[in-house]
Amino acid sequence: MIKHLGIIGDWVIGYYLEFGIWVLGIGRWRDTVLTPGEREKYDRQIMIEQIGPEGQEKLKRSRVVIAGAGGLGSPIAIYLTAAGVGMIRLIDHDRVSMSNLNRQVLHWEEDIGKKKVQSAATKLRKLNPGVNIEAIEEMITETNVSRLVDGCDAIVDAMDNLPARYILNRCAIEKNIPFFHGAVNGFEGRAMTIIPGKTACLRCMYRGSVPGEKFPVIGVTPAVIGSIQATEVIKYLLGIGQLLTNRLLMYDGLEAVFTEFAVNRNPDCDHCGSLVQKE
């Protein structure tokens, strides 16, 4: 019938199509608009000029993967949850042990024997019920990593071994997802941010294999490095500040010194070299 209405029919169809799109848009808007309670909760960070209400809504729309729920993963998850990132996906296959408790602050003695992601998710949901915490009990491998990080805006490296970091680095490059690296040893730590296709990647910096033996660490070190990583993620999601791209930030807790090293892209890198060649 509308077919015979000519211009009027076209107008009716166009109206309802636009109305449907508008309604869908309103639905998405309602999901990310700040509630009065959220405005009160985040009041002090909304006061920051570079954030404001619009920035807080950006955080609410964001989806972040944290690979590892241990020493680095704990402060990263705590501060991104407290900041109001909309969805946080924690990935870890390990269980809590007594030797974790000097640095993995999301886990307590009562959690010994529990899956780390479940222990962490319980605390984080109490910290901020408005954040969707996804707990994934899987070991990251080359076969499942793409599925595990799918649909997210950022991948945070909170791992304790280089092979797993390489898997995440390559996947981040292939899926064009920013990758936030952090590592610790004793009183020392390092952090760097990788933007696929634009900056040096983890493989550009590290060469050869690294022994996988047990390494020393004191809890304050991952607290510092994890906080830097969380800060980098927030800056990226909001599009503010200067990221740690093509720069490796080194922290020496004993000397209370931060040192920065330039990291250049390697055109022969087996992870990101093909992207360099395309430019």
CATH number of the domain enclosing 253: 3.40.50.720
pLDDT computed for residue 4 by the predictor: 44
pLDDT computed for residue 276 by the predictor: 52
- pTM of the complete model: 0.87
Residue 46 lies in a domain: yes
Residue 136 lies in a domain: yes
Contact between 124 and 32 (Cβ < 8 Å): no
| Region of residue 191 (phi > 0: left; psi between -120 and 50: alpha; otherwise: beta) | beta
**How many Cβ atoms are within 10 Å of 44's Cβ, its own excluded?**
8
Same domain membership, residue 50 and residue 4: no
Number of domains, the chain? 2
Same domain membership, residue 186 and residue 67: yes
* Residue 16 belongs to domain spanning: 1-32
Same domain membership, residue 13 and residue 75: no
Residue 252 lies in a domain: yes
**How many Cβ atoms are within 10 Å of 265's Cβ, its own excluded?**
17
Same domain membership, residue 25 and residue 103: no
Residue 37 lies in a domain: no
H-only helix segments in 136-219? 145-149, 162-175, 202-205
pLDDT computed for residue 206 by the predictor: 79
Residue 130 lies in a domain: yes
Say how many residues make up the chain: 279
Same domain membership, residue 173 and residue 85: yes
Same domain membership, residue 86 and residue 27: no
Same domain membership, residue 239 and residue 110: yes
Residue 249 lies in a domain: yes
| Segments of the chain scoring below 70 in pLDDT | 1-31, 207-212, 276-279
For the chain, what is the mean pLDDT? 89
Same domain membership, residue 104 and residue 12: no
pLDDT computed for residue 273 by the predictor: 87
